[in-house]
Chain A
């Protein structure tokens, strides 16, 4: 029968071992895997400004990107290739706020420079390798 001491060794040993493996995999992901998959060398100042605006306005509070967010507004990972820069510009500049099918987006007053930065951010995102996400609809006609 398992003793309390053996149970403690199982807990401490297992935790330390798996945490070390996790740290090593995380290190590889952060230094090699993610930079390659996301074309980190193409992170221009404009893309960085776009990401900052993405965070600052909590766009993730409605949209999802890379599948992460709040499920209230469309997934934007591939929005650049799906809708194009002009469409994104129109949405961001909508004078009364964008409101497709009655669901309202917050009304923003971005400068042209900021709009360009957000578009650059989406373009950068568009080229990221995400293991096939979002999937191609299998029943789409």
Chain B
């Protein structure tokens, strides 16, 4: 840690961990409901559980990105954060808005728009919060002694993520138009600008963990994020096949969706090659594991499993089934959740001075959470394929298919238990680190210091 102001990142990481646990709790409520055990229906009906589960995901990932930016931007710009009190204000306002939103979902204060359920009055508070965050980050960067490509890619990802929230705040009477604009937000986030953020954080981690020359890493960073937008922007078309859009989206969406895995494959090759080229003496093995797994699992979850159902002929049958949940879980876990865990695993030893970066708990957390998530993905896949055949091909009623797939949710819950134990072990390590301390300040670049 080069600057004391970087410590603010800890608050955001802690909030992320808390919200992740809550997200998992709601995931279990939904899993049991799919199995037929919905004893909480009176208090937490499924639509409240799913709104909470999905929005907690968005908020904990965003909180992780914000923490990452607060840690990375001062380091990359060689400057203290613009204002720590403002950053604290931004943190507490984010937490308060999050609590109000989650509480609101339980009393029916929401909008029925998947991933964007936060009601519009709260949207304005979210927008204010994000503007404050961006002002702090941009001022830090602009006043810095240097402005690196990594810092700009990360910052631009955050700026465009904020701008893309705006189309989601407009109300449309036509459901099809509403859906069209909702994907402007959600797709262009997760298969667009969030990948800029991902590229920026990955690039930072690879520079720090491998010691490979910054110019080499940043050159390939441009290529990867270029590929992401080249495929991802028009790849939005796969959401417009069957939602009232013109039929040209079938061709455009199909072609560019088929290209989308290339960007993720590029990300994987990029990370693995940099690791192979680099010096392997970095002691933070857990950060290396999480960094490489981000690149590899995102390719499997977002790239390959996305391709498995985004071609129009396949999607006609899989659209609106549990196949989407299969893809969604591994994609979010690989691309974004693991990335947040990677930057936490990297930064916590440096913020606290405690070297818990190669311990048994941390390794078990890594393997159990990943194996558990793969198990969950397989359970969703089995349930989804069965649903497609029973409901879409054989023509059985939805509930007949749902009854037949209940057993897969038992497997899902077993896998989710393994996953949860892994996550709790990660959090137990996080807690063991304790709070950041000024004594952990290390003015030299971290990698050189360790090598020296």
Contacts and interface: CB of A to CB of B under 8 A. Distances in A.
Contacts of A48: 173
B176 A22 contact: no
Interface in B241-257: 241-250, 252
Nearest to B323: A71
A101 B319 contact: no
B97 interface: no
Given A60-B113, A66-B176, A3 B219 contact: yes
Contacts of B391: 137
A95 interface: no
Contact of B320 (A69, A100, A132): A69
A141 B24 CA distance: 41
A38 interface: yes
Interface in B225-283: 225-226, 229-230, 233-234, 236, 240-250, 252
A34 interface: yes
B387 to A, nearest CB: 8
Contact of B234 (A18, A128, A140): A18
B391 to A, nearest CB: 8
Contact of A128 (B176, B180, B248): B176
Q: How large is the interface on A (under 10, 10 to 19, 20 to 34, 35 or more residues)?
A: 35 or more
B112 A58 contact: yes
B219 A62 contact: no
Interface stretch (B9-17, B31-39, B423-431): B31-39
Contact of A133 (B47, B242, B393): B242
A90 interface: no
Given A4-B218, A22-B233, A58 B110 contact: yes
Contact of A61 (B48, B250, B317, B398): B48
A54 B172 CA distance: 13
A98 to B, nearest CB: 11
A72 B250 contact: no
A94 interface: no
A34 B114 contact: no
Contact of B245 (A10, A29, A47): A29
A71 B34 CA distance: 10
Interface string B36-57: 1010010001111011000000
Given A43-B173, A60-B113, A68 B233 contact: no
A129 B244 contact: yes
B358 interface: no
Select the residue from B41, B234, B398 with max chain A CB neighbours within 10 A.
B398
Interface string A20-60: 01100110111011110110100100011001001111111
Interface of B: 30, 33-34, 36, 38, 41, 45-48, 50-51, 108, 110-114, 117, 149, 173-180, 184, 215, 218-220, 222-223, 225-226, 229-230, 233-234, 236, 240-250, 252, 316-317, 319-322, 324-325, 387, 391-395, 397-399, 402-403
Interface of A: 2-4, 7-8, 10-11, 14-15, 18-19, 21-22, 25-26, 28-30, 32-35, 37-38, 40, 43, 47-48, 51, 54-62, 64-75, 100-104, 106, 121, 125, 128-135, 137-141
